[in-house]
Every structure is written in structure tokens, then in C-alpha cells.
Structure 1
């Protein structure tokens, strides 16, 4: 596989959908509507059939699983250039943003007071990363069913004020769901928590990181640039016209 395809598949491995069916090298994914990545067909690699047939199968899979037909397409690929002619359009109304950056970088381990990484997610961790201490089955599967997941939290005055999810695939740390309570933002806590997560991952053999962030989320992009990440490539979500 080329570098982009391998990275996309590693990220998909770190973010498991409830249903994940192969179509050649494509991955048709569904997770009850929780997140775009887990409810789209990853179109990296060879689908093993004619592209028009592959698109029909992806749409059929989505309909069978009760989600909107959606394709996850890397910008600049052959499919990205041809997909408009095949009857699909960019989903400009996608709740997470139509276009995302995949950023990569080295690990810069460190420590921060009050920060640690747990082997199991706590109720406060769920509250910050999923919006509720009682996650849905889809949320629980996507965020906590994979092997090699760490649940980072940072505490102040006995309260969890920041949380993050890290999943290790090979030597790659996949970073996701970073959240800081509004009243604790702009205090360097996100960076401190990330560095603590990097230490945890480094001890388990990770040497690099990757993450996905919506192109409109400028603050998050600047944060990740500050810990050494740069843009690797971009992808967009497409839906039938």
C-alpha cells in the first residue's frame, strides 16, 4: 500500500466501527451515526470491482445499516477527480465538517501535574469525550473496544477537566477526542495532557502520531502544530446527489 492508504487504514483500525465490511481494500463502516469516520466507506486502495459497482455496493451497505450513504475520499486521488461525474457531491452540511486534515508528527513525551492515562474509561472521561457518562452502544464500541487504547485525563481540584483518547496501532499513536472544559482552556492543559499521553504511548512502543481534524477547526490545528504535527493529506465526505 502507498503511504496515504496505509495511514488511513491504520487510523481506521484505531477507530473501529460497529460494522466494518471489506470491499476489496475499501472498508464499508457503520456505527449508528456516531462520527463521520465510523459511518462512511473508506475508499483507499482497490475495491476489487468496477468503481461504479463499488459505489452502488457502498450505498447499499449504508442503506442496510440505516445510515446515509457516505464516502471518505482522500483529496487528490483518482476517485476524488472522477466522483462528481459518478453522481456524488461533497457533503457540505456534514456535522463534523466536509473536509478534514490528517496530521502526523513525532512524539514528544513529558509529564504534567494531575495528568495520567488509564486502562479503562471513567465516567468523567465519558462525559468529556462523548457528552454523557452513559455512552450509547455505538460510542462504547468506537471509543473503547479496540486493543491498545489509553484514556487520558487531567484533574484539577478533584475534577477531571481535560480528557483525550489514544489508540496504538503498530508504532502509531492515533489521537482523538481531546476535550478541555471551557473554564480551563488557554492554560496549557491540552498540551500537558498530550505530552502525558505521548509518554504512555512511547512506553508501549509508539514512535509517531496521527490525528484527524476538521479544516475549519483552526484552534485545534494550531494546537497540534505546536506539538510538532504537520499536514499529511486531506479527505472529504461525499454523498449521492
Structure 2
């Protein structure tokens, strides 16, 4: 099968059978099937991205069969069915840090201070060490990389309680924290007026308006393989990323002089169509609980709140 999978198949969803190196029940070679979108091919291996965005590298010489399967499965769970910690993993993959270290299942992230999502510890699963050591490792990582130590924690989770017991406090004072909203992607049509680019050019970044270091911002924003930067009428922008079967929407901005024309909603629908063409059947976005205009924009598209999260900092 060395030459059966090539770069021309990148983006296709495949079922790949490969040998594990062990023996099966009948005494013959044991094989396993892996299903995912092909995202990389080199001389010795291929990389498949699974539904949750997790990537698996398969050795080419061990592959014995491969076939194409539909990008969007016939049977699917609703977007609301996903566990909050699993969704946190997906959102983190869609907004990758410049430097990332694993602490068990936790992810320690730094990106030169560009956004809290890329400069905090994503707390999900088991850190693999006792909690006091895990919390100390979060602080040590931040100190080494010269950022403020922060933990991104799902509200009402066990980890929020453990951090609170250790004296960690929310940032932002009395302002409500952030929420993650989700929706199933229904029938959405491509909008020919929307321009999609694989890179964030200077004009796009200028509309985004939260950038101090363009090079650093591009490293984060352009990090995923399946990402696009949408522009409509040169006055409205959005970013869309596909991670497994999930589309992530962010950076929806409209020039103040051109608001109330429906441009933001057109952008969002166009981004969902772009993502659906690449296999996504669910979508997420992140916003603040008190951002009423944004929530009013998202609701007609089927977005509902899945969970809230908060950034916690250690005691002084």
C-alpha cells in the first residue's frame, strides 16, 4: 500500500486498515481500522484526523487497505451531546498555542500573550499527578514563559472546585465569564460574495483589531490545517476552522459604519457552508455571557449554550 495514499487525497475521509504488529485470535497478523480525514502524507507515514480532532500517525508499510467514506456520517450525535471537557480539547485544537506542553490530559499553552485561550492551561481530564503538583506545574510553566499563570476551567466542574479550594480566583472581577455555544450544521448554501483565504492578510487583521504583533497572531490564527479567513464586501470578516467533525467560528467583525445590513449573519452562514463542505456537521463558538448583540446574532442559527468556563489565577 506504499503508493496507494497520496497528497491528492488530503482532505478525504478514509477508513484505513493497518497491521498492529501483534497476532490476532486466529494466529494471523492483527489489524485495526482507523477512520479519519487524511491531513498529511510523507514517504513513511500518513496522518488521519479523527472526529474529535485527535490525530493518528500510521506507518505506510503497515497499511494493508484503505477506502473512502462519506465526510459527513449518516448517523450523528447532536452537538449538545458532547462532554464539556472533550469540547475544550476540540476548541483548543482550533486555536493552537505557539508552544504547548502536555501535563497528562491537561495542555499548558503559551503564545506571547495573544489571547487567553492560547496563554493558559486547558484543564480537562487527568493531569497524571496529584493536584497540588499539577497546579504548581501550571505556575512554573507560566513563569518560564513569562506570562501570567492562568487555568481555563469548566464552570461547575470538579477542577473548578479543586482550584477554588487551593485559593485560585477568577479574573475579570464581577463580570460574567465566557460561554461555549454549539449548534448542528443544517442545510447552508455557499455565498459567492464571500472571499475565503487560507491566510490572514493585513486588511483582515486590521478589521480584527486585537493584534499587537501580526506575526505572532498569524502563528496562532493560521495554525490549523483546515482554516479559512472570510471577508465580505471588504468591511466584514470572520474565521472558521474545521477540527474533526467540528467547525469553530470566531473573529466575526463588521465595520461600525456597515452594521445592521445582515453582513455578520451572511458571514456565519457562509463559514458554516465552507466547513460543511469539509466534513463538519457541528459547530461551536465562544463569547462572553453578557455580549447580548452576539448572542442575538447566534440564536437564529441554532446556537445554544453548552457550558461556561472561567480563567483562574493563583493567590498572590
TM-score (norm 1): 0.91
Instruction: Note if contact 1:90-1:98 (Cα within 8 Å) is conserved in structure 2.
Output: no
Equivalent of residue 137 in structure 1, options 215, 236, 243: 215
Distance in 1 between the 2:244 and 2:306 partners? 18
Distance in 1 between the 2:229 and 2:277 partners? 15
- Cα distance, 1:51 vs structure 2: 0.7
Paired residue secondary structure (2:235): strand
Corresponding residue of 1:32: 112
Instruction: Note if contact 1:153-1:163 (Cα within 8 Å) is conserved in structure 2.
Output: yes
Corresponding residue of 2:123: 43
Matched ranges for 1:53-64 at <5 A: 53-64=133-144
- Cα distance, 1:98 vs structure 2: 6.0
Matched ranges for 1:44-193 at <5 A: 44-93=124-173, 99-108=177-186, 109-112=188-191, 114-131=193-210, 135-155=213-233, 160-193=234-267
Structure of greater Rg: 2
Instruction: Note if contact 1:165-1:178 (Cα within 8 Å) is conserved in structure 2.
Output: yes
Distance in 1 between the 2:201 and 2:219 partners? 15
Instruction: Note if contact 1:98-1:237 (Cα within 8 Å) is conserved in structure 2.
Output: no
- Cα distance, 1:178 vs structure 2: 0.9
- Cα distance, 1:227 vs structure 2: 1.0
Instruction: Note if contact 2:153-2:159 (Cα within 8 Å) is conserved in structure 1.
Output: yes
Paired residue secondary structure (1:58): helix
Segments of 4+ moved more than 6 angstroms: none
Is the deviation greater in 104-113 or in 230-239? 104-113
Count of residues in correspondence between the two structures: 234
- Cα distance, 1:113 vs structure 2: 6.1
Per-residue CA deviation, residues 88-136 of structure 1 (Å, 9 max, x unaligned), is: 1111259xx661110000224234463232223332112112456x853
Paired residue secondary structure (1:141): helix
Paired residue secondary structure (1:110): coil
Unaligned 5+ runs, structure 1: none
Is the deviation greater in 221-230 or in 47-56? 221-230
Q: 1:35 to 1:131 in 2, by over 3 A?
A: closer
Unaligned 5+ runs, structure 2: 1-51, 53-81
TM-score (norm 2): 0.70
- Cα distance, 1:9 vs structure 2: 0.4
Corresponding residue of 1:218: 292
Q: 1:178 to 1:50 in 2, by over 3 A?
A: same
Distance in 2 between the 1:167 and 1:196 partners? 13
- Cα distance, 1:193 vs structure 2: 0.8
Distance in 1 between the 2:273 and 2:164 partners? 44
Distance in 2 between the 1:93 and 1:141 partners? 30
Paired residue secondary structure (2:236): strand
Paired residue secondary structure (1:137): helix
Distance in 2 between the 1:229 and 1:146 partners? 23
